Structure 1
């Protein structure tokens, strides 16, 4: 809780605004109330007051966050030339005169009706909005108003005596959220968790029901009337009473000896474990399970025999069932190790307490919210657990995606996720219109709208929606590969449960982290930073064409090309696949078909062209002077230019090696082209291509991937060098025409045919 307030902030009539909105009869619609209390006139005044006033300080934080969002939106909307940005574009908001000296700050209390019932009594939530901005601005100025928004909360207190005024305190309580309690085991916090679970179980119907009565091989039973838990073999022992179980998602932690079940400790676990001997995270999980009225708990490190490779492989293959069939998954998101626990006290950051409440009124507080568009309830808002330790662990990603319902503990509050609802302890609740994480992954599995399908009817306004085939799976892989994992051989097993479930739900065929019906999209992966090196895994994990074969984060630029590099050019740059799938083979290392591999090969029919030479990519962009129009932006991670032999000569294309320190022999290299994007300009078109750089293996019939191709067709231009334009220029092609009407008139053919007319051959990549 922040400190003292200045005189003007202390004099704001927040209580009067709250009472006014609470007194309105119509609680189903949003409304607002303008605060007339005297306050600071300019941002400069608020800034001057902020060192000594807690409310002024957090308003300044809110304005700065809002300003950063204004700039981001302007960049996305191409409101200015990136080569000539507006002055002060990236300056702090308090240093921009148009904001600093603008007169006319407005303060409003806004009531937003709640549309989702998460079991709590609140009918609405209240917010204080503080807006600042220049009175006049040109249409293309990046000077939109900045808004700091603060949630109005009340501190929990005992029963309130009958009110003698016009507005009952109890009614005010129905329109304000309760400030998150510092203790996650307080009655207030546990009541919220119980209400979420009860609402989901009793009201959400089959959408939020675990798919079956499946029970894990082993469960931990919380023995009634004792301080122990016992490991039970669910097949050998009949489980007592209600067999619904809670599954724990947690970070084991680095260093030390983890608390596990092994063959030597198995008899001890079966006899019983003193709860006080458990690591704190396990103790916290037991406490919550009991508080929610449940008896059984599943913890991977205790329910899987860790020194038994066969048991581990068999149980790891059942992860999808464990987390999908759990009555509830507990997510210890804020804990980086089992020894630390996850039910530790929370702080209420960026929160101020208003002056003492009038007699027999709730004590109110103000808490700064993230800028609009960066909040978890927003459709494209931030992940609730972003920045929490659990979001850095690869194994925990599928444990986030699989549960039907989950109770998550973050650093500042608890969250709820199920198939029908998301909610936060501080008061927000939103409907899951598209279902949970798993449903979103399945929604774009094998849909007709492929990023590599030519000639589709596309609406430019919908390009940002990313409704392309398998886009959500590959975006998830981008998240997954950026996480840490102790054993590289677990890269496929740690995603096995999720892959298994997606395959069962969609009928898709899985290929070592990729999907057959989204194969080209999945093959076009690359590093995420130009300085990055993607080293092969020390042990064999996957064939070279799979992202699982390298260590480090990857991205899939075929999707990014539309949304970041040419999103307004829909249907002017339709893709066309150049490669065809012929066959593949994989040999599993374990019983799990979605887990570890011994080997794998993929055979394509595609253009395969020998590499003649390789040069570092010039920093200066290639010129476009033979055609009118604007070329799409370059790949941000390509760092070489590859000369490729064709039947009529040679072409150059930009790309990069996965291992940037590698120096392969160009004579052993070839490029396989996967897709083309004819980018139509005013007088013609240019060719953008995606492909892979391959190295021939000892068996001359086989290749391994060592890099990627991502760029337009280029030519080396001596004339451009003389004119100071750079070493390369973009190759332009004339626009083809076709007959259009009975009079023989012609029109442009936007779907330009392939100017290279390359032959295809079988290519085996291993």
Structure 2
């Protein structure tokens, strides 16, 4: 059934353009007349589904334009363009600009489903002023729609175009795509995407053709006449209250005797069904293959999780199911799709820069699915060499060489599979402390030392987890995978060669959710795993969020030296649960004298001119520190809400340890930005535990004009160290941003 269209959209000859593009891949303008301005499209969108979809695409494209302008400092954030945050149809520069541009383009590629080469045809609709200034933030906006066939069998010229995703995930056409992906990966990628030959989990579920039961078998004695022990591993959300069926010591004999598939929750039944359709005979499901009431068995199997998912012949990702009872092979509907005459459809794509097929591969095609909210499922996404993933609207494929979607998109993996991308920055030479190329345009790539790991931790800590003591075990497989691929010494979720970057974590964003104390011991206080809630690592995004313009000017400088550490394991897993741990560093340590709420306005910068230093979004206190010559103030925050009042009443037990500094160079001199931790002495001992962080420039009290609305603190400025009578430029700039505080370092032990 065709969707309602205006006369101009109905007159577009999409089939004719597709026919022309089959033999000529150059962009083809549409000869049919169409709307001349965005205002015309807005008026038509009230009754035309295609005009409404294009307007939606322009709005999404506009969001990317604004984001890029912010990152590139194209305007003064204190004086932004007046229409910056307005809907695109209300911005005169777009609304009234004449000459909306329509064209169709075709890209031919191997889609990876075994059907050979296919063509993707896109309709691009652009809008924007012909003349603009660099500061007005009116770059063109573009809506791009994919042309697809409603009927799978229908071909429009040689090679055809992509097909609309079938509503039934078990339709033969959809199953053919899945089989084609797997077949092509096996034949073309070989050992790159294959697991370790002969490796098997401790237990597997045997799926017998024609049998309505599955059987729990020990991996050492699989009854496979053909010798084919390739297995499928399931990644799934158990759901609130856990999964309805598990293996315990009591039920173990029953599982071995056979489990009738009618008794399985729908997600498990769907996994069995797909295993049948893919002609495989063994299936691994954690709740059935691990004895759930045996702590020793659970600990041993958790330690093998990396091997289970890494060596599976295929991983099934039930991404769209929020519980095992829901199932993942549910009917699907294509979103943002307009049906046209002639069996064609147009589907709106995300704007450039926000597609999972973009070259850097940073976008996640399953980001909005229920499985992406669960902590345990993160490593189950990263570890597999091959995975078949079921989203709400379509099916996806990921292996070490290719990522593909059921609607036809395909991209070669950049830097290998997901684990390869995670390992890409493990122990690399470029770091926040030393980079050869400090081009601002490269900052968005975030390829400095351990950046990929800590970005992954930011995602991980924003996910939910039932047992807080699982916070390290649920990442154990990834830590093992990194060590096997790249090496490195692991410290309770951090890495020794990226230690300072990892120690400087804080709350992810202002407002809720807040960080919370875990009800039982999980990790040492210096580890992000010691708290519950989303965290961030601010040193990595300093130049992208606070001072993009400054990326070529300075690196962070380390103020701390690693002396040693010790962690005490709770289980056999070297990367799993802990029962203790300490870290010893040599660094500047200053006593806290006072704590006050942070002033609302940014501290004034009087003696120097230029860009003011970036301010932490989550700091909310001012900390006064005692120095040999007096005192200084710096902004920060306590990790756990409610800690502030108790700590402020007992400041004598508090200290601040500085880990890094970043001289913020201005025209007449520089200001001193420092990062560190707020520590509290543990009882009467000489050891400390982390209770907060500091992140800000060195501040001083100042007597300011209250009428001007200024705060009571201002930034301490340090002049250029000119030598009297020396006009040599090199001498003038020598030692420009040397440490003005010159603090001594002492041994600090944090537990």
Report the TM-score range of the alignment, normalised by the length of the smaller protein: over 0.9
Moved more, 40-49 or 590-599: 40-49
Counterpart of 2:463 (choices 476, 479, 483) is: 483
Counterpart of 1:48 (choices 34, 43, 46) is: 43
Tell me what 1:261 maps to.
247
Change (3 A) 1:228 1:117: closer
Counterpart of 1:77 (choices 60, 66, 72) is: 72
Q: Does 2:425 match 1:440? A: no
Tell me what 1:23 maps to.
23
- Conserved? CA contact 2:118–2:162, under 8 Å: no
Whole-Å separation in 1 of the counterparts to 2:109 and 2:722:
57
Instruction: Give unmatched runs, 5+ long, in structure 2.
Output: none
Change (3 A) 1:335 1:86: same
Question: 1:380 Cα shift?
Answer: 5.4
Counterpart of 1:700 (choices 676, 685, 710) is: 685
Tell me what 2:167 maps to.
182
Whole-Å separation in 1 of the counterparts to 2:729 and 2:356:
57
Tell me what 2:451 maps to.
471
Counterpart of 1:336 (choices 322, 325, 342) is: 322
Whole-Å separation in 2 of the counterparts to 1:44 and 1:571:
42
Q: Does 2:475 match 1:495? A: yes
Moved more, 461-470 or 555-564: 461-470
Q: Does 2:410 match 1:424? A: no
Whole-Å separation in 2 of the counterparts to 1:260 and 1:283:
14
Q: Secondary structure at the match of 2:355?
A: coil
Q: Does 2:502 match 1:522? A: yes
Q: What does the per-residue CA deviation read over 1:434-472, in whole Å, with 9 as the maximum and x for residues that have no partner?
A: 11111111111111112134x855334322221111010
Counterpart of 1:539 (choices 515, 520, 528) is: 520
Question: 1:570 Cα shift?
Answer: 2.9
Q: Does 2:59 match 1:64? A: yes
Moved more, 699-708 or 202-211: 202-211
Q: Does 2:583 match 1:588? A: no
Q: Secondary structure at the match of 1:59?
A: helix
Question: 1:223 Cα shift?
Answer: 1.6
Counterpart of 1:151 (choices 146, 157, 176) is: 146
Tell me what 1:572 maps to.
553
Question: 1:268 Cα shift?
Answer: 0.8
Tell me what 1:105 maps to.
100
Counterpart of 1:351 (choices 323, 337, 345) is: 337
Tell me what 1:165 maps to.
none
Tell me what 2:194 maps to.
209
Tell me what 1:678 maps to.
663
Taking the TM superposition and a 5 Å limit, the aligned residue runs for 1:335-414 are 335-355=321-341, 357=342, 363-378=343-358, 379=360, 381-414=362-395
Tell me what 1:134 maps to.
129
Q: Secondary structure at the match of 1:540?
A: coil
- Conserved? CA contact 1:116–1:431, under 8 Å: no
Taking the TM superposition and a 5 Å limit, the aligned residue runs for 1:190-229 are 190-229=175-214
Number of residues of Structure 1 aligned to a counterpart in Structure 2: 743
Q: What does the per-residue CA deviation read over 1:651-674, in whole Å, with 9 as the maximum and x for residues that have no partner?
A: 100100001322212111000000
Whole-Å separation in 1 of the counterparts to 2:519 and 2:721:
50
Question: 1:639 Cα shift?
Answer: 0.5
Whole-Å separation in 1 of the counterparts to 2:361 and 2:706:
45
Q: Secondary structure at the match of 2:624?
A: strand
Change (3 A) 1:475 1:745: closer
- Conserved? CA contact 1:182–1:346, under 8 Å: yes
Change (3 A) 1:456 1:575: farther
Q: Does 2:226 match 1:246? A: no
Whole-Å separation in 2 of the counterparts to 1:750 and 1:5:
68
Tell me what 2:216 maps to.
231
Question: 1:111 Cα shift?
Answer: 1.0
- Conserved? CA contact 1:122–1:177, under 8 Å: no
Whole-Å separation in 1 of the counterparts to 2:490 and 2:242:
37
Whole-Å separation in 1 of the counterparts to 2:689 and 2:230:
48
Tell me what 1:661 maps to.
642
Tell me what 2:120 maps to.
125
- Conserved? CA contact 1:720–1:728, under 8 Å: no
Whole-Å separation in 2 of the counterparts to 1:2 and 1:486:
47
- Conserved? CA contact 2:605–2:714, under 8 Å: yes
Q: Does 2:7 match 1:12? A: no
Q: What does the per-residue CA deviation read over 1:712-744, in whole Å, with 9 as the maximum and x for residues that have no partner?
A: 1111112465764321111111223699x9989
Question: 1:400 Cα shift?
Answer: 0.4
Q: Secondary structure at the match of 1:502?
A: helix
Counterpart of 1:287 (choices 260, 264, 273) is: 273
Q: Does 2:308 match 1:322? A: yes
Whole-Å separation in 1 of the counterparts to 2:211 and 2:663:
71
Whole-Å separation in 1 of the counterparts to 2:13 and 2:488:
59
- Conserved? CA contact 2:518–2:532, under 8 Å: yes
Whole-Å separation in 2 of the counterparts to 1:195 and 1:750:
63
Change (3 A) 1:37 1:518: same
Question: 1:568 Cα shift?
Answer: 2.6
Question: 1:91 Cα shift?
Answer: 1.2
Whole-Å separation in 1 of the counterparts to 2:347 and 2:139:
23
Moved more, 290-299 or 716-725: 716-725
Question: 1:226 Cα shift?
Answer: 1.2
- Conserved? CA contact 2:111–2:404, under 8 Å: no
Q: What does the per-residue CA deviation read over 1:595-629, in whole Å, with 9 as the maximum and x for residues that have no partner?
A: 11111111111111100001111011111121122
Change (3 A) 1:199 1:315: same
Moved more, 286-295 or 320-329: 286-295
Whole-Å separation in 2 of the counterparts to 1:2 and 1:535:
53
- TM-score, normalised to structure 1's length? 0.94
Q: What does the per-residue CA deviation read over 1:155-180, in whole Å, with 9 as the maximum and x for residues that have no partner?
A: 2254x6xxxxxxxx5635x1410111
Whole-Å separation in 1 of the counterparts to 2:196 and 2:224:
20
Whole-Å separation in 1 of the counterparts to 2:69 and 2:607:
31
Q: Secondary structure at the match of 1:631?
A: coil
Q: Secondary structure at the match of 1:674?
A: strand
Change (3 A) 1:53 1:460: closer
Moved more, 82-91 or 419-428: 82-91
Whole-Å separation in 2 of the counterparts to 1:612 and 1:312:
48
- Aligned CA RMSD, in angstroms, stands at 2.0
Change (3 A) 1:719 1:53: closer
Tell me what 2:441 maps to.
461
Whole-Å separation in 1 of the counterparts to 2:629 and 2:708:
27
